[in-house]
C-alpha cells in the first residue's frame, strides 16, 4: 500500500497556503429565499491578488494579521479563518490549538472574498498541519458551511456558483484576462447590499427572474476573448452598491474614460473592477484611477488564478 504524501511543512512545522481574490464576471441574483439567501448564477473568476495563511502548532488558538489593512480585520474567534480551523478541529475530535497568521493583501469588505479566501486557506493549512488528508469533496462541503463564497476560494480558476453560490461547476477558460481593481476607502457589508437590492426591486415592482448563466459570457471565457467578454459583464448587485455608495459611479466612469473595455462593481462592492485589453492598457487604467483620486488605490492583475495552494 502506498503511504500518504508527507505533509509539506516549513520551518517550525508551519504550513503556508496562498489564496486568491475573486471577481464576479456575472452575478445574477434571484428572489429572496425563505432562509434569507438568494439563488445565484455567480460566475466567479479568481484573480492574482492573494492572501497567505500560515498555520503553526501552538499551545492555544492564536490569530494574527499583517498588512496595511490588518486593523480592519477581526483578530478574535469571529475571524473566518479561526472559524475554519475550529470547524475542522471539531469534525476530527481535535483541539484547535493553532497559530494562524494572515498576511493580508486582498481588500477588506471589498467584494473580493478576502474573508472567504482566509477561511479556505486556513482549512487547507490546518488539514495539512494536522495530517488529516481530508478528501477534496469533504473540504468543499466544510467550505460551504463557512460561507457561500468559500468553496470557490478553495477551487480557484473560474466556476459557475449556483444555489447560494456554493454549488460549483468548474468553467473552462481559454486565456488570461487583464483587470484593474479600484479599492475604495472603507467597505460595504454584503448583507446590507443584498437588502438594498431587494428594496430597490420591491420599489420597481417587477418580477425577479430565476438566475441563469449567460451563454455568450461563458463562450467568451472559453475562447479567452476579452473583446467578447467585455459587453457581457453583469452584476445585479451593482445598482444596490451604487445606491449605498453613489461616488462609485465616478470611479467607474474614470476607468472607462482611461480606456477600460468594461467596468463593474466587484460582487457586493465597493471595489470596482475594470477589464482591460492587455497588460499595458491595465497599467494605464490603474495610473489614471490613482491620479484621479476617485479611489484609495488601483491594482492591475490578471485571472484566472489558481485556487488555495500550499506554498
Ligand atoms: C456577494 C458575493 C458574490 O460572490 O460576495 P462578496 O462580493 O460579498 O465577496 C457573495 O454572494 C457573498 O458570499 P459570502 O460573503 O460568502 O456570503 P455568506 O457569508 O454566505 O452570507 C452573508 C449574507 O449575504 C447574504 N447572501 C449571501 C449569499 C447569497 N447567495 N444570498 C444572500 O442573500 C445573506 O444576507 C447572508 O446572510
Ligand atoms: N479573515 C477575514 N478577512 C477579512 N474580513 C473578515 C475575515 N474574517 C471575518 N471578516 C469579516 O467579514 C467581513 C467581510 O469581509 P471580506 O470577506 O473581506 O469582504 P467581502 O465579503 O466584501 O468579500 C469584514 O467586514 C470582516 O468583519
CATH code for the domain in which residue 294 is found:
3.30.70.890
Helices (H), 212-265: 215-223, 226-229, 238-244, 248-257
Q: What is the pLDDT of residue 207?
A: 87
Q: Give the C-alpha separation, 188 to 38, whole Å.
A: 18
Q: Tell me, using a 6 A CB cutoff, whether residue 147 lines ligand 1.
A: yes
Match 453560490 to its residue by C-alpha cell. Answer: 165
Q: Tell me, using a 6 A CB cutoff, whether residue 165 lines ligand 1.
A: yes
57-95 per-position pLDDT tens digit: 999 999 999 999 999 999 999 999 999 999 999 999 999
In a domain, 2, yes or no: no
Q: Taking the model in full, what pTM does it have?
A: 0.96
Respond yes or no: is residue 149 known to be catalytic. yes
Q: 76 and 183 share a domain?
A: no
Torsion over CA: 133, 137, 141, 146 (sign): positive
Q: 67 and 208 share a domain?
A: no
Q: Predicted confidence band at 8 (pLDDT cuts at 50, 70, 90)?
A: low
Q: What is the pLDDT of residue 9?
A: 58
Q: Give the C-alpha separation, 36 to 102, whole Å.
A: 30
In a domain, 299, yes or no: yes
283: DSSP letter = H
- Answer yes or no: is pLDDT of 175 > 50: yes
The three state secondary structure string of 34-77 is: CCCCEEEEEEEEEEEEEEEEEEEECCCCEEEEECCCHHHCCCCC
Which segment of 178-192, 197-211, 227-241, 292-306 scores lowest on mean pLDDT?
Answer: 197-211
Average pLDDT (7-15) is 68
Cβ-contact 266, 112 below 8 angstroms:
yes
Picking from 298, 307, 296, 42, the residue whose alpha carbon sits closest to that of residue 181 is 298
Respond yes or no: is residue 104 known to be catalytic. no
Q: 22 and 49 share a domain?
A: yes
Last residue of some domain: 171, 186, 216? 171
Q: Tell me, using a 6 A CB cutoff, whether residue 80 lines ligand 2.
A: yes
Cβ-contact 128, 59 below 8 angstroms:
no
Domain around 97: 12-171
Q: Was 110 annotated as part of a binding site? A: yes
Q: Was 109 annotated as part of a binding site? A: yes
Q: 262 and 137 share a domain?
A: no
Last residue of some domain: 171, 204, 233? 171
Q: Give the C-alpha separation, 52 to 70, whole Å.
A: 13
- Answer yes or no: is pLDDT of 174 > 90: yes
Q: 142 and 68 share a domain?
A: yes
Q: 101 and 160 share a domain?
A: yes
205-242 per-position pLDDT tens digit: 778 999 999 999 999 999 999 999 999 999 999 999 99
ipTM score here? 0.98
In a domain, 5, yes or no: no
Q: How many distinct structural domains can be found in the chain? A: 2
Q: Which residues contact 216 (CB under 8 A, 6 or more apart)?
A: 228, 232
Atom 10 in ligand 1: residue holding the nearest Cα: 149
Q: 192 and 114 share a domain?
A: no
Record the cell numbers describing residue 55, joined without a space.
Answer: 498555520
* Nearest 10 degrees: Cα torsion 66, 72, 73, 77: 130
Q: 196 and 270 share a domain?
A: yes
In a domain, 52, yes or no: yes
Q: Give the C-alpha separation, 158 to 48, whole Å.
A: 13
Atom 19 in ligand 1: residue holding the nearest Cα: 147
Catalytic pick among 118, 127, 149, 236:
149
In a domain, 211, yes or no: yes
Amino acid at each position: 500500500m502506498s503511504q500518504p504524501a508527507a505533509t509539506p511543512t516549513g520551518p517550525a512545522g508551519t504550513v503556508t497556503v496562498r489564496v486568491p481574490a475573486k471577481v464576479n464576471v456575472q452575478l445574477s441574483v434571484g428572489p429572496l429565499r425563505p432562509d434569507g439567501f438568494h439563488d445565484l448564477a455567480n460566475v466567479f473568476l479568481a484573480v492574482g491578488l492573494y492572501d497567505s495563511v500560515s498555520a503553526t502548532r501552538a499551545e492555544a488558538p492564536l490569530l494574527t494579521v499583517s498588512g496595511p489593512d490588518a486593523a480592519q480585520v477581526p483578530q478574535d474567534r469571529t475571524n473566518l479563518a479561526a472559524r475554519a480551523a475550529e470547524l475542522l478541529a471539531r469534525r476530527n475530535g481535535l483541539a484547535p490549538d493553532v497559530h494562524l497568521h494572515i498576511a493580508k493583501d486582498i481588500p477588506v469588505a471589498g467584494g473580493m472574498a478576502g474573508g472567504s479566501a482566509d477561511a479556505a486557506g486556513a482549512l487547507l493549512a490546518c488539514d495539512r498541519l494536522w495530517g488529516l488528508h481530508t478528501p477534496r469533496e469533504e473540504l468543499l462541503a466544510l467550505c460551504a458551511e463557512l460561507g457561500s463564497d468559500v468553496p470557490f476560494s478553495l477551487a480557484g480558476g473560474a466556476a459557475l456558483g449556483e444555489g447560494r453560490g456554493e454549488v460549483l461547476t468548474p468553467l473552462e477558460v481559454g486565456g488570461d484576462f487583464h483587470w484593474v481593481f479600484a479599492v475604495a476607502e472603507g467597505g460595504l457589508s454584503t448583507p446590507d447590499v443584498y437588502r438594498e437590492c431587494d428594496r430597490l426591486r420591491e420599489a420597481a415592482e417587477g418580477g425577479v427572474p430565476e438566475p441563469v448563466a449567460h451563454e455568450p459570457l461563458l463562450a467568451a471565457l472559453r475562447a479567452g476573448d476579452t473583446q467578447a467578454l467585455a459587453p457581457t459583464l453583469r452584476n445585479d448587485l451593482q445598482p444596490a452598491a451604487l445606491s449605498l455608495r453613489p461616488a462609485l459611479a465616478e470611479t467607474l466612469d474614470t476607468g472607462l474614460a482611461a480606456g477600460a473595455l468594461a467596468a463593474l462593481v466587484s460582487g457586493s462592492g465597493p471595489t470596482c473592477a475594470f477589464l482591460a485589453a492587455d497588460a499595458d492598457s491595465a497599467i494605464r487604467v490603474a495610473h489614471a484611477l490613482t491620479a484621479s483620486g476617485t479611489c484609495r488605490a488601483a491594482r492591475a492583475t490578471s485571472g484566472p488564478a489558481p485556487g488555495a495552494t500550499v506554498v
